[in-house]
């Protein structure tokens, strides 16, 4: 057989949208796939076509070349799974079955196999007919047994009108929606275990995420967090250029420490961060603020305290991890590749280690905030002095 290798891209909930929304999301998904291909420095003559429920990347010279790009493409949000596949035409059922037999017979490993067939279009045969005839040919040639429940090898045949795709690998993607389909958000990003995972989940729901880092310990903290942001975004962010806004909070820390009781310092500081994040979100046209908090993980994240913290924000606050256990978050951090770096990030802010009232009282919080008297003008000045960092800048070096 002459090589005609493609990558089949499958999506999930995009397919259940109305036609207008589905077309928009398919086009965004294609845009993001093109971005990952460009950043992977692939050949420029690859083509991308779409058919309902599928996107096809065509033009690979060999199976090996298609597999080479598979891992990067599998990180595009909105993709449920993908497969390197051999594509060919057929004229009759016999022609189809002969080509399937020729493709699969020398690839089967183990003692048993199954044939899985999907079919779209008008044909004078059924999917069961194809599976039965191809299976009979393979059994006759190899004496292997058919096992439809626990096969050692699965041969997949996908028929679309007079085109057929043969494949035996399925690589999972992250699922969700394509980045860009739900607008921009601003993530409070400390670089610890939680905030990168929260960023990943909000991008998985179609958001373009820019990051906000509060510099509370100097250049070493900033450089380590930049590295974590790069690991996350270079592997999972496609379709736009994410930015990190770095705001120096050190000048205000002394005012908090000298004016507020210890068990309220963290709450007041988190509210200040929310005020700054809300103002910055307005400036960059972000629709919401995102944090990595989850309910009850620490004393500042009790429901009582989250309500008080949120009341300082003028934007909607999203918490993708709100119902996660810590072990769940750690497993996701390992999966997305940030855990190795986040787990080595020291606790730079000693304020975060202080005793916190788990049930703060809003009236007291407002009283303490009046003591430090941080005005809207102070907040705007902090934002005006922010460093704006292109997270993917080093990719071009």
pLDDT tens for each residue of 341-393: 999 988 765 555 568 999 999 999 999 999 998 999 999 999 999 999 999 98
Over the stretch 51-66, which tens digit does the pLDDT of each residue have? Answer: 888 999 999 989 999 9
Q: 96-124, pLDDT tens digit by residue?
A: 999 999 999 999 989 999 999 999 999 99
Q: pLDDT-derived band of residue 40, with 50, 70 and 90 as boundaries?
A: confident
Q: Which of 63, 66, 60, 123 is nearest to 95 (CA)?
A: 123
Cα–Cα dist 57/55, whole Å: 7
Q: Which two tokens stand for residue 307?
A: 């309500």
144 falls in which pLDDT band (50, 70, 90)?
Answer: very high
SS (H, E, C) 136-179: HHHHHHHCCEECCCCCCEEEEEEEECCEEEEECCCEECCCCECC
Q: Which CATH class is domain 184-396?
A: alpha beta
Residue that has been written with the tokens 């250029």 in this structure: 241
Q: Is there a contact between 196 and 333 (Cβ–Cβ < 8 Å)? A: yes
Confidence class of residue 2 from pLDDT cuts 50, 70 and 90?
Answer: very low
Nearest to 369 by CA among 270, 238, 241: 270
Whether residue 241 has pLDDT greater than 60:
yes
pLDDT at 80: 97
User: What is the C-alpha to C-alpha distance for residues 82 and 134, in angstroms, rounded to an integer?
Assistant: 23
For the chain, give every domain's residue range.
Answer: 5-172, 184-396
Report the distance separating Cα 87 and Cα 89, nearest Å: 7
Helices 63-73 and 19-39 pack at an angle, to 10 degrees, of 110
* CA 215 – CA 348 distance, rounded (Å): 10
User: In sequence order, which residues have a C-beta less than 8 Å from that of residue 397 and are 6 or more positions away?
Assistant: none
- Percentage with pLDDT > 90 across the chain: 85
Confidence of residue 3 (pLDDT cuts 50, 70, 90): low
> Taking the complete model, does pTM exceed 0.75, yes or no?
yes
pLDDT value of residue 351: 58
Residues making up the annotated binding site for ATP are: 188-189, 270, 292, 301
* Long-range contacts at 189-192 (CB < 8 A, ≥ 24 apart): 189/213, 189/225, 189/229, 189/244, 190/214, 190/225, 190/292, 191/224, 191/225, 191/228, 191/229, 191/341, 191/342, 191/345, 192/292, 192/342, 192/345
Taking the C-alpha atoms of residue 127 and residue 146, their distance in angstroms, rounded to an integer, is 16
Residue 138 has pLDDT above 60, yes or no: yes
**What local confidence, expressed as pLDDT, does residue 397 receive?**
42
Whether the pLDDT of residue 278 is over 60: the answer is yes
Q: What is the mean pLDDT of residues 312-335?
A: 97
Q: What is the mean pLDDT of the segment spanning 180-206?
A: 97
CATH among 3.20.20.60, 1.10.240.10, 3.40.50.970, 3.30.2130.30 for 5-172: 3.30.2130.30
- 289 close to 318: Cβ distance less than 8 angstroms: yes
Annotated binding site: 188-189, 270, 292, 301
Longest dimension (CA), the chain: 86
C-alpha pair distances (Å), 138 with each of 3, 97, 102, 346? 22, 10, 9, 59
Average pLDDT, the chain: 93
Query: Does residue 149 surpass a pLDDT of 50?
Result: yes
Q: What integer pLDDT is reported at residue 348 of this predicted model?
A: 62
Q: At what angle do helices 262-283 and 376-384 cross, to 10 degrees?
A: 60
Q: Of 314, 312, 317, nearest to 368 (Cα)? A: 312
- For the stretch 291-317, pLDDT in tens is 999 999 999 999 999 999 999 999 999
Q: Which neighbouring-strand residues pair with 116?
A: 156
pLDDT for 1 = 44
pLDDT at 353: 53
Which residues 6+ apart lie within 8 Å of 132 measured at CB? none
């Amino acid at each position: 057989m002459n090589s005609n290798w493609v990558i089949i891209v499958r999506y999930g909930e995009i397919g259940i949208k109305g036609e207008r929304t589905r077309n928009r999301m398919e086009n965004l998904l294609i845009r993001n796939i093109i971005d990952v291909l460009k950043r992977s420095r692939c050949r420029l003559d690859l083509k991308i076509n779409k058919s309902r429920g599928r996107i096809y990347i065509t033009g690979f010279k060999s199976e090996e070349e298609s597999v080479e790009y598979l891992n990067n493409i599998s990180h595009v949000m909105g993709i449920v799974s993908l497969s390197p596949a051999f594509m060919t035409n057929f004229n009759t059922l016999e022609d189809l079955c002969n080509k399937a037999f020729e493709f699969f017979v020398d690839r089967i490993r183990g003692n048993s196999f199954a044939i899985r067939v999907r079919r779209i279009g008008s044909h004078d045969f059924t999917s069961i007919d194809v599976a039965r005839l191809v299976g009979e040919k393979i059994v006759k040639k190899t004496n292997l047994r058919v096992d439809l429940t626990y096969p050692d090898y699965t041969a997949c045949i996908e028929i679309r009108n007079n085109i057929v795709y043969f494949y035996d690998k399925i690589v999972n993607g992250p699922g969700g929606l394509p980045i860009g389909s739900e607008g921009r958000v601003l993530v409070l990003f400390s670089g610890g275990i939680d905030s990168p995972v929260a960023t990943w989940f909000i991008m998985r729901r179609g958001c373009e995420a820019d990051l906000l880092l509060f510099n509370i310990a100097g250049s070493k903290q900033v450089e380590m967090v930049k590295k974590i942001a790069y690991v996350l975004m270079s592997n999972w962010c496609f379709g736009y250029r994410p930015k990190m806004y770095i705001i120096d909070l050190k000048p205000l820390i002394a005012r908090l420490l000298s004016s507020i009781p210890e068990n309220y310092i963290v709450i007041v500081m988190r509210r200040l961060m929310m005020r700054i994040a809300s103002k910055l979100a307005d400036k960059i046209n972000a629709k919401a603020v995102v944090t990595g908090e989850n309910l009850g993980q620490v004393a500042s994240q009790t429901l009582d305290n989250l309500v008080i913290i949120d009341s300082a924000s003028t934007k909607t606050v999203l918490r993708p991890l709100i119902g996660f256990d810590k072990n769940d978050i750690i497993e996701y951090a390992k999966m997305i590749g940030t855990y190795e770096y986040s787990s080595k990030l020291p606790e730079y802010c000693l304020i975060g280690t202080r005793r916190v009232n788990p049930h703060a009282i809003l009236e007291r919080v407002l009283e303490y905030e009046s003591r430090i008297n941080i005005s809207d003008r102070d907040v705007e000045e902090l934002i005006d002095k922010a460093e704006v960092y292109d997270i993917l800048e080093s990719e071009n070096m």
